[in-house]
Structure 1
C-alpha cells in the first residue's frame, strides 16, 4: 500500500481498522509464500542434505553445476515442450467448446458441468484413470484396434501426458471463454451482420478481439500449470520411459530433494524454476495486456 494512503488512514484514525484487515493476509502470505522462498534460496547456497550432519556455504556452486548439467537442461527442454502443449491445446479447444456451449437450454447447462468436472478432480485420480485406458491392452488401443505404447514409448509418452493435462484443463478454459462470450454486446454482432459479415468474419473481427482478457487469464494459468507439472508425471511414467524422457524440472526437484537427499541442489533448481516462471509469465502478461489495450 502506498505510504500516502497509510498517512491518510493514520490521520483519519482508521489505521487500526485498516491494519486489522490487511495484517492477516500479509501474515499468511509471508508465512506460506515469502518464508519458503527465502528458506529455499538460503538452502540453495549450501550443500544441505536431509541426513547431513554438517552444512557448509557453497555460494553459487549449485547454480553453476545445474546450468552445466545435461540432465537439468534435458528436464528444462521437457518442461518447455510440455508447457507449450498445455498452453496451446486447451486454449484452442476451449474456444471451440465455449462457442458450442454458448446457447440456452438445460442440455447446454448440463454439458457445461460435464466439461468442468475434470478440473475439480484430483490429478492423481485423472492420471490413474487415463493410465488404465492407455495401457497396451487398455480401452484406447482396443477401440483403435492397434497396439500403441502411449506411455511406454519414449517418443509418445510426453505428448500423452500433455494431452491428459490439456484434457483436464479444458473445462477451466472453456468456462473462462464462455463467460467472456456472454459479455460480448449483441449490438456489435447485429451491426456486423447488417454490414454483411458472415459467421466467421463476425467471430474474427468482433468476438475474438473481445476475448483478449480471457486469453490472458487462460494463458498465464496454463503456463504455471505446465511449469509445475508433477503429479501426472509421477503417476503415469515416473519420469520415464527411458532416461528422463518425461522428467520435468518440478519432477526432478522432488526426486533430487527427497529421494537423492540433495536439499541444496534441489533448492537451487526450485529457485531457478521460480525465476523462469516469473520471467516468462511477466513477459506473456505484458504482451497480452498490451494487446488488450491496442484492441
Structure 2
C-alpha cells in the first residue's frame, strides 16, 4: 500500500508516482482505405500505363535522343550534334515541300468527309431495313485495310482503268492521268482517303443525330421554323461533339498518312509531289539510313500534330452544348 504524505497545501500525494497533466490527444489517420484504393487503382491502371509507357512514351524519348545526334548505323561513330538537325529542317526544301503537301492533304481529308458524312447521315437518319443496310454499305470501307483500298483504287484510276474507259465512252478524248499527273495525283490520293473515312463520319454523325431530343425538333416546328431553320438552330449546334470527334480523328489520321502514299504513288509523280512528312521520315530513316535526321523530322511532326490538335480541340469544344 503506497504511503501518503502531507503536502503544504494540505493535500495528499502518492509517493513513488508522478502526476502528469493531460495533454492534447493525437488523432491517428486511418490509412487503410486510402491504401486499398491506391492498390485497387494500381491493379487496374498499371497494365495500361505500362503498355502506354513502353510503346508510346519510350519510343518518343528514344527518337528525341536520336534527333540530337548524327546517328547512322552504316557510318559510325555517332556524335552529339544538339539542335543541328532541327535547324537543317528549316532549310530543307524537301521537308518544307512535304509540310505543304501534308497540309493540303489534311485540309481536304478533314473537310470533305465531314461535309459529305453529315449529308449522308441526315439522309440515313430514318428507321427501316433499307436505311440499316445503307449504313452498313457506307461503313464497309472502314473495315478494309488501307493497303487493300489503295490497290483497288490504283486499278480503278489507272490510265486504262474503268474510270477513264467510262470517260472515253462518254466522249472525253483525253481523260486525266489521275495518279501519274502531278496536277491530279495529290487530290486523287486525298479523295481515296476521304472515301474510306466517310463511313466513320457517317456513323458518328448518326449517333449525334439520334441523341438529339425529339421534343426540341417538335417545339421548333410548332414555333413555325422550317427544315433549314431547325437544322441551323437545333440540329447543327447539338452536333458539335460529333464534329469535334470527326475533326480530331481525321486531322491526326491525315497528318500521319504513309501507307496510301507508299502503295499508290510512292511519293511521286516527280520529286515529292505526294510525299508527306511521314513518308519522308521512313524514307530518310530506313532507305537513306539517316536515323538522327529522320528522328528530328518525326519529332517535328509530333509537335505540329499536338499543337494543331490542341488548337482544334479548344476551338471546337468552345461551341459544344451540354444537354
Q: Given the two structures, how large is their TM-score scaled by the length of structure 2? A: 0.87
Quote the residue 2:276 is aligned against.
Answer: 248
Quote the residue 1:133 is aligned against.
Answer: 156
Could you tell me which runs of 5 or more consecutive residues in structure 2 were left unpaired when the two chains were aligned: 1-29
SS at 1:149 equivalent = coil
Shift in Å at residue 13 of structure 1?
A: 2.7
Q: CA RMSD of the aligned region, Å?
A: 1.5
Name the CA distance, whole Å, in 1 between partners of 2:32 and 2:69: 44
SS at 2:319 equivalent = helix
Quote the residue 1:80 is aligned against.
Answer: 103
Quote the residue 1:64 is aligned against.
Answer: 87
Quote the residue 1:220 is aligned against.
Answer: 248
Name the CA distance, whole Å, in 1 between partners of 2:293 and 2:31: 47
- Is residue 2:79 matched to residue 1:51? no
- Is residue 2:316 matched to residue 1:288? yes
Shift in Å at residue 17 of structure 1?
A: 2.3
Give the alignment of 1:142-221 within 5 angstroms.
142-145=165-168, 146=172, 147-221=175-249
Name the CA distance, whole Å, in 2 between partners of 1:111 and 1:286: 34
Task: Please tell me whether the aligned partners of residues 285 and 293 of structure 2 are also in contact (alpha carbons under 8 angstroms).
Answer: yes
Give the alignment of 1:17-32 within 5 angstroms.
17-32=40-55
Shift in Å at residue 8 of structure 1?
A: 7.4
Which has the higher Rg, Structure 1 or Structure 2?
Answer: 2
- Is residue 2:294 matched to residue 1:266? yes
Task: Please tell me whether the aligned partners of residues 71 and 292 of structure 2 are also in contact (alpha carbons under 8 angstroms).
Answer: yes
Quote the residue 1:231 is aligned against.
Answer: 259
Q: Deviations over 1:234-265 (max 9, x none)?
A: 11100000110100000000100000110000
Name the CA distance, whole Å, in 2 between partners of 1:115 and 1:266: 37
Q: 2:143 aligns with which of 114, 120, 131?
A: 120
Quote the residue 1:105 is aligned against.
Answer: 128
Shift in Å at residue 50 of structure 1?
A: 2.9
Name the CA distance, whole Å, in 2 between partners of 1:118 and 1:12: 48
Quote the residue 1:4 is aligned against.
Answer: none
Could you tell me which runs of 5 or more consecutive residues in structure 1 were left unpaired when the two chains were aligned: 1-6
Shift in Å at residue 52 of structure 1?
A: 3.0
Higher helix proportion (structure 1 or 2):
1
Task: Please tell me whether the aligned partners of residues 9 and 15 of structure 1 are also in contact (alpha carbons under 8 angstroms).
Answer: no
